[in-house]
Structure 1
Amino acid sequence: MSSACEVNFDGLVGPTHNYGGLSAGNVASQCNSQLCSNPRQAAQQGLAKMKLLMDLGLPQGVIAPQERPDLASLRRLGFSGSDAQVIAQAAEQAMPLLVACSSASSMWTANAATVSPSADTLDGRVHFTAANLNCKFHRSIEHPTTSRLLAAMFADPTYFAHHPALPAEAQFGDEGAANHSRFCRDYGAPGVELFVYGRSALDARYSAPQRYPARQTLEASQAVARLHGLSDDALVFAQQSPLVIDQGVFHNDVIAVGNGELLLYHQDAFVHSSKVLDELRDKLAARGGELQAICVPREAISVADAVRSYLFNSQLLSLPDGDGLLLVPQECQEQEKVWRYVQHLADAGGPINRVQAVDLKQSMQNGGGPACLRLRVALKSDELAAVNPGVLLTPLLYQQLSAWVAKHYRDRLCEEDLADPQLLIECRTALDELTQILKLGAVYPFQLAE
């Protein structure tokens, strides 16, 4: 049995989950803008997915949400006075800014950081680089708290190394693990890390999308690889097709997903697909692995179908009994063509022999599926033992978190509700209790009043 495992650390949906339509290039986010949300249901759906993986025998962790609305950002933008006055001014003078500063987008922890396991890094530690997410204002304000959360979860410097976000410049746009995959024979064995970028910031010879922004740059991916001490023979840099970015594929995890030795990808996912696959295959073979690549042809599933269903934003999971599970959003089941295709995959005798759908509608309406909600961290047994145990899901913790959500979360939130100063108090009270449940210490900047 392997002495290493992959842990999925899912983001807890925050109390201010709302549909602000803040993400240009994300079709679902734009289409559902201004709808009223249900934060309680959103958090419950996320917890149900976490419990499902735990019940399947997979190690599962949680990442806490962030304080919202972000008063510090509003103050930097010129609003002043008491907390209630800041919120009132923002609501009256610049409601879109208040919406942005109230986003619960940190729930999508695939964008929290890029993680390289110790088997790949020069110093033999697990490396984390928080993503700067500087393409979108509402996400660019996340990384300071993300860094504190990750440092509280993975605190032992013997095993873990943390890097701050890259410079907050367009040339170094970094969206984290949503554009990163790792391939390996075994989670504890040396692997090959695939970094996918949308454009080069400094080399005009690379093509670029015309309609929507390419959020990840080649230069950012290269910088993260250097910070993590990755060797050239364990790296592949691949350009995402600008044509699919312009069709709403804003991250690689909307058009491809990998796990272990398996890559499931759409025919139109990459520029120069054959070259990417050859390099992956050769470098993985040098590390004792054998790449298995499943190409989904455009004739079977169009890019538009992939975006509507979020087929590729599924989780590829290696179960303890040896089965390969594709955990898909319920939207795949609701689209006959897509569901027929994944059933064919499961029946074909290949590496994916189980398919299961999960209801994540509250997240999906904002453009985030199963893969968006989790940050994957491959850990050896001693590294897992060094993780803050408070963030590892157990039946007891699941019960505590379910009760916490029921106690603190609203079941309806519309844009006008973001102007209610009581919402900030509710969020702070909830997070103050959550830090005690998860044993996180002082990770939030606020202090509750006496």
Structure 2
Amino acid sequence: MKSFEVNFDGLVGPTHNYGGLSFGNVASQSNSQQASSPKEAALQGLEKMKALMDMGFVQGVLAPQERPDVAALRSLGFSGTDAQVIERAAKDAMPLLVASCSASSMWVANAATVSPSADTADGRVHFTAANLNCKFHRSIEHPTTSRVLGAMFADQQHFAHHAALPAVAQFGDEGAANHTRFCRDYGEAGVEFFVYGRSAFDSRYPAPQKYPARQTHEASQAVARLHGLSEEGVVFAQQNPSVIDQGVFHNDVIAVGNGELLFHHEDAFLNTESMLDELRRKLAARGAKFESISVPRDQVTVDDAVRSYMFNSQLLSRADGSMLLIVPEECRANPRVWSYLQGLTSAGGPIREVKVFDLKQSMQNGGGPACLRLRVALNETELAAVNPGVIMSAPLYDTLTGWVNKHYRDALRESDLADPQLLLECRTALDELTQILKLGSVYPFQIN
């Protein structure tokens, strides 16, 4: 039976703005308070989805969240009508209003961790929504994320859904941004690679000093247990604390993996050689030939990697066995990064081609190609059980671009977030979107 790695890209929401909310994310903080363009952001994301579909990859779409999150503001003591809640938050606590308006759910690499059926004890595809409790504006996402994923992958014969881990610092979970999977074939048993920034309970593990380590070892272990993964099918690795302090807030800012290949910076991990040996050994037991490409710091610095998002890329397998690397335009603008990538593709290794996409609106807020997609490995039977409304096609692309042009603003500034009309615009758009994607009622305003 044929198997696929399907990329479900996050559709950028109507309140996309540069709030500078993510401490530790250099791009997010450095572009704070600039005017954004929600329409341009959504169209840039859709263009990438369409391009990958046209290249023959199975591509899906994951819906954004309702924003501003009035319920979150009510839980913090603001009362009255929805318009009054927004007005009072804007007057008394603008940072909370900005957080409640964040369109950060566009980065669906943080939506959940996904384990394919070939790896799990019960032979189903498992999803655990990420609690994202390190940042308030992201910690409010997982209830809607769970409903949306449940509407997309509804068949309980094939799919299992787990609630987010406890929303405490000891179980900080950032989803697939700190998780990848290696395998010979997507339909065969593989090795799942969990990367964490710190241990919550063991002080012997080093930790960053400047920026927070968002993923804990304990959270990664809990997800592996929930998904029924075997000891032979997992490897846990720690991020290098020094690169977290340089702006590598998730592992997917410094490494990317696919198939039998890990592409990473020399300074990405602690105990790199022993970790690579464990991956090599466990994959060999599954008939896979693991390979790693380590990018030397004297050719590409950590700062280069953070500013270009060279590793926050999509590594895709082609039918001929070669790999394609999808990178943002910022890689071409960085001479050292671009020189390295040109040498990489001409060296005869597994990565044979680099394609560049303009994702400036997302990049300025700290998210590149890898942030925008959630990878789900599915066999033919499982793919047929996915809600067909979320699988990209030429007609769906046309419908969604028309939907964006109809509902999204050309520009959005912080002062615009206080406009109660923005909430009405968002709800109108999302109500129509649930019909387009055949999701049913997944948003609070549709349920309450």
TM-score for the superposition, normalised by structure 1: 0.99
SS in 2 for 1:446: helix
CA distance in 2, matches of 1:51, 1:447: 29
Deviations 1:364-406 (A, max 9, x none): 0000000000000000100000000000000000000000000
CA distance in 1, matches of 2:93, 2:52: 41
Correspondence 1:84-103 to 2 at 5 A: 84-103=83-102
Deviations 1:298-351 (A, max 9, x none): 001000000010000010001234331000110000111100100111100000
Report if aligned partners of 2:326, 2:354 keep a CA contact under 8 Å in 1.
yes
Shift of 1:445: 1.2
Correspondence 1:392-411 to 2 at 5 A: 392-411=391-410
Report if aligned partners of 1:184, 1:284 keep a CA contact under 8 Å in 2.
yes
Report if aligned partners of 1:58, 1:320 keep a CA contact under 8 Å in 2.
no
Correspondence 1:380-395 to 2 at 5 A: 380-395=379-394
The aligned counterpart of 1:207 is: 206
Shift of 1:3: 0.7
Query: Given the alignment of the two structures, is residue 144 of structure 1 paired with residue 143 of structure 2, yes or no?
Result: yes
Shift of 1:448: 10
SS in 1 for 2:61: strand
CA distance in 1, matches of 2:319, 2:31: 38
Query: Given the alignment of the two structures, is residue 123 of structure 1 paired with residue 122 of structure 2, yes or no?
Result: yes
CA distance in 1, matches of 2:444, 2:303: 42
CA distance in 1, matches of 2:400, 2:155: 25
Correspondence 1:9-158 to 2 at 5 A: 9-158=8-157
Moved >4 Å (runs of 4+): none
CA distance in 1, matches of 2:135, 2:413: 21
CA distance in 2, matches of 1:399, 1:447: 25
The aligned counterpart of 2:321 is: 322
Correspondence 1:103-252 to 2 at 5 A: 103-252=102-251
SS in 1 for 2:74: helix
- The root-mean-square deviation of aligned C-alpha atoms, in Å, is 0.9
Structure 2 unaligned residues grouped into runs of 5+: none
Correspondence 1:369-448 to 2 at 5 A: 369-447=368-446
2:180 corresponds to which letter in structure 1? Answer: S
SS in 2 for 1:377: strand
CA distance in 2, matches of 1:41, 1:209: 36
CA distance in 1, matches of 2:390, 2:85: 33
CA distance in 1, matches of 2:98, 2:104: 11
CA distance in 2, matches of 1:68, 1:44: 19
Report if aligned partners of 2:441, 2:447 keep a CA contact under 8 Å in 1.
no
2:146 corresponds to which letter in structure 1? Answer: S
Report if aligned partners of 1:315, 1:327 keep a CA contact under 8 Å in 2.
yes
SS in 2 for 1:47: helix
CA distance in 2, matches of 1:159, 1:344: 42
CA distance in 1, matches of 2:27, 2:277: 34
The aligned counterpart of 1:344 is: 343
CA distance in 2, matches of 1:328, 1:139: 25
CA distance in 1, matches of 2:404, 2:204: 50
Deviations 1:201-231 (A, max 9, x none): 0000000000000000000000000000000
Deviations 1:29-74 (A, max 9, x none): 0000000000000000000010111000000000000000000000
The aligned counterpart of 2:295 is: 296
SS in 2 for 1:313: coil
2:265 corresponds to which letter in structure 1? Answer: H
CA distance in 1, matches of 2:256, 2:275: 14
Query: Given the alignment of the two structures, is residue 254 of structure 1 paired with residue 241 of structure 2, yes or no?
Result: no
SS in 2 for 1:431: helix
Correspondence 1:307-318 to 2 at 5 A: 307-318=306-317
Paired positions, count: 448
1:102 corresponds to which letter in structure 2? Answer: C
CA distance in 2, matches of 1:54, 1:343: 25
TM-score for the superposition, normalised by structure 2: 0.99
